[in-house]
Structure 1
């Protein structure tokens, strides 16, 4: 066979191979739509053994970096403890970014510390919803976040100074409003809301919930829930029983209204007018990841607030709302 015929045969075979591959692309597009064409072509033609080695390196490193999720649990002491999402490398997105980095820089193989890892959260299998109606006293101990929960039924003169301290420290808290207080102090409640704080339900007339019959207990919750919506446009999600007084029936009645019952991990006991320094010392000793810190608009808490913020942060903990602290969402991503 002469060289000319050999060339013709090689070209013909190559053409058949390419046409066959393109036919595969078209079949894939016909089945999954045009948006899939680029992905299929990438998978079909690839980019050689070197890229395969890069993908393998990413997969090995991804296994090392995987953080498993933590399920929500019904703890014997703390009752419902929320779960905490895990974390894993998004292999496909990481691979695409790594390839792009190689092309842009015209570099050779990437080292592990040069790979732009992309992460995604892994939801826990068991959530608070799966546990049923249970009280919540704290967040997940794996999440290094703490919340101030401020129950409001009095103490108007201390609210704005406390808001100013929170603003200066860039801290958002959760204010649980007594409904009868809210009805008389809508403008002050709007000021709390304007400052970016979470606002939730503290019943209507500050009763001992465990001592009420079902209809009265329901009314205490729903009256404030409706007022929060009418006055502030708040879609109420959390209920803090006054004085921490409740029973399982209270929790179930709140759940029937779409609310989770939340209490506290650490109490300032500020209604007894302790010295601000003693409040700060107490918080410094007891606060830990997931703590919900109870206070009220009092002189003690107003003067201790900055010190409490400082000791929380000194322990490497972030401050957020109750919603944020009890959420299973992760605080941050590891550095690649």
Structure 2
């Protein structure tokens, strides 16, 4: 009987060992049974902990490699700012901000979970040492050639017939233009000018009575500018910074007077010559051939430009340019860059 009980006890112990072994790993369990002073759980914990530590070390190594990749990519993405300058042909050329990756902010919003992931780079702009204001009294014909932006400048001195359709197209295409108002027109059309401003367009100065500025004496030239400036401020609440001389006619006295009045004299890069009544297709073709970064396109509220406007805008966008106001174009601010890249 005693032998039978001992046999049954041994069999039960073997079954228990097998069951526990199945749960924990038989080889490890039996191996640890040979160490009387060690409980299995305590012996296993250092092994398991070592595995976690190895995992952490692996994760840390992966993270360090990932951080190195991010820093290397960030260095590649740095772009130096461009100083404003005076060109012998185009006169004042605005500066253009550079950029660098804001590494701290980039890492704050990025969780390196895998070796391959999209990194949302955050940038800060780097200002040039020389800005447009540093160049003094100089006319401006275009923006910086590295800035992929184009501006529509619409000079208004007569007629309202085509303004509503042009505003509708600009709104539809989500484009803001700069309207330069002749003061005598503005005085008679304050409600129309307010509607234009309400659509988000920039409102500016085109002198008062469309005279050739180069033929005026100093005081007469001052009055042409200041009378319209007063209307812009009083009637429209505009703090204006720009002046477009009528017919593009000016001399250095004009530029100097505007500068003294804290206004920048602006001309154009491309003229639609819409006052001659060209076919809309001819205007669009001209723009398509001559458009370039920083271009300012001159037009008026005419039948030709109103019918060409939508196709013109689509062509400009198709070529990859952003459309902004003249002030936006002449500012050194960068056109937004693509924010992400794939690291692997």
Same fold (TM over 0.5): yes
Equivalent runs, 1:34-49 vs 2, <5 Å: none
Q: 285, 288, 296: which is aligned to 1:284?
A: 288
In structure 1, C-alpha distance between the alignment counterparts of 2:322 and 2:107, rounded to whole Å? 33
Q: Distance in 2 between matches of 1:197 and 1:265?
A: 20
1:61 corresponds to 2:65: no
1:85 aligns with 2:97: yes
Shift of 1:72: 1.0
For residues 244-297 of structure 1, the C-alpha deviation after alignment (integer angstroms, 9 at most, x for no partner) is 000111111101111100000000111111111111111111111111000011
Moved more, 84-93 or 49-58: 49-58
Please, which runs of 5 or more residues in structure 1 have no aligned partner? Answer: 1-47
CA separation of 1:304 and 1:64: change in aligned 2, threshold 3 A: same
- Partners of 2:238 and 2:206 lie apart in 1 by 14
- Deviation (angstroms), 1:300: 1.0
The 3-state SS of whatever aligns with 1:80 is: strand
Could you tell me which of 241, 248, 257 is aligned with 2:245?
A: 241
Residue in 1 that maps onto 2:109: 97
In the alignment, the residues of structure 2 paired with residue 93 and residue 188 of structure 1 have an alpha-carbon distance, to the nearest angstrom, of 45
Residue 134 of structure 1 corresponds to 138
Alignment of 1:153-164 (within 5 A): 153-164=157-168
How big is the shift at 1:298? 0.9
Please tell me whether the aligned partners of residues 162 and 303 of structure 2 are also in contact (alpha carbons under 8 angstroms).
yes
Q: How far did 1:58 drift?
A: 3.4
Kindly state the Cα deviation for residue 162 of structure 1 after the two structures are TM-superposed.
1.1
Query: Matches of 1:228 and 1:252 in 2, distance apart?
Result: 21
What secondary structure, in the 3-state scheme, does the structure 2 residue paired with 1:126 have?
Answer: coil
Alignment pair present for 1:309 and 2:310: no
Alpha-carbon RMSD across the aligned residues, in angstroms, is 1.8
* Count of residues in Structure 1 that have an aligned counterpart in Structure 2: 282
Work out which of the two has the higher radius of gyration on C-alpha atoms and give 1 or 2. 2
Contact 2:66 2:115 in 1 (8 A): no
Q: What residue in structure 1 maps to residue 154 of structure 2?
A: 150
Q: Which moved more, 1:116-125 or 1:237-246?
A: 116-125
In 2, the alpha carbon distance for the partners of 1:315 and 1:192 equals 27
Instruction: Give runs of aligned pairs for residues 149-298 of structure 1, distance below 5 A.
Output: 149-298=153-302
**2:25 alignment counterpart:** none
Instruction: Look up the match of 2:303.
Output: 299
Residue-by-residue CA offset, 1:288-332 (whole Å, 9 max, x unaligned) = 111100001111111111121122122111211111111111111
Sort the Cα spacing of 1:112 and 1:122 in 2 relative to 1 into closer, same or farther, 3 A: farther
List runs of 5+ in structure 2 lacking aligned partners. Answer: 1-59
Equivalent residues of 2:150, 2:293 under 8 A apart: yes
